[in-house]
Amino acid sequence: MSKIILDGNLVAQEIKDNLELRIGSLKDNGIIPCLATILVGNNPSSEIYVKMKGNACERLGMKSIRIHLPESIETNELLEAIAKLNQDETVHGILLQHPVPSHIDERLAFESIGIRKDVDGVTSTGYGQTALGFGMYPSCTPAAIMKLLKYYQIPIEGKHAVVVGRSPILGKPVSALLLNENATVTTCHSKTTNLPQLLKQADIVVAAVGKPTYIHGKWLKKDSIILDAGYNKGNIGDIDYESCYEVASAITPVPGGVGPVTIAMLMKHTVESAENM
């Protein structure tokens, strides 16, 4: 079997190419798809991510609103900013950049985003709908992982998928999406005691643990499919790429794998929101 590099840039470009005609149709009807991003504080990595999302909007001819709030604000002030965006009919998607400062109730802030504008699937309602199979906007990184698998026609049904990570916007929703595609899913986390043994059974591995080069190739089954959703300082993923590359039949690079597709899915969800309003 020849090895497949799951090229996220290629997949992202196809998504964006397909959006251009839809954006043009919306503009013909006087609607410009608009994504509002909220950044609280001065986290350098978060600033880069927000800028990337804004640039992606502009390249597609979409509108981007960036709201940068000081680190000292309280939860109620953040909720007020989100409420204004919920009421603004020209805004079709709202993204609160994670993480927010520790004194802010992030979950309460996520929950205040209107479901029609929850284009990153961060609300409990959005997650619940995704898990039940009818969510309109699943979390963008899990959606990107599923898009990569489908683009490269990698079978999911009947396969054993092991997801390493259980965050509410990555590990848990991607586990649900894989389950909805009839995979058998094992979700691992910091309390899992036999991770290498579980990974040895995996046909599909999703690395979403947030630890650089954590997963080693010697833990993996030969010819497994590896999707690295980690993005750590120095452009390093959650897998040890060289050792995993030797074992895998298909693997995402970092950078250039899941990341570009995540941003493209955010654009897609925002356009769909504009179409549905």
**Residues with catalytic function:** 53, 97, 120
Q: Are 119 and 273 in contact (CB under 8 A)?
A: yes
Q: Do 198 and 192 meet the contact criterion of CB atoms below 8 Å apart?
A: yes
**Close Cβ partners of 2 (under 8 Å, ≥ 6 residues apart):** none
SS (H, E, C) the chain: CCCEECCHHHHHHHHHHHHHHHHHHHHHCCCCCEEEEEEECCCHHHHHHHHHHHHHHHHHCCEEEEEEECCCCCHHHHHHHHHHHHHCCCCCEEEECCCCCCCCCHHHHHHCCCHHHCCCCCCHHHHHHHHHCCCCCCCHHHHHHHHHHHHCCCCCCCCEEEEECCCCCCHHHHHHHHHHCCCEEEEECCCCCCHHHHHCCCCEEEECCCCCCCECHHHCCCCCEEEECCCECCCECCECHHHHHHHCCEECCCCCCHHHHHHHHHHHHHHHHHHHC
Rounded CA-CA distance 209/119 in Å is 23
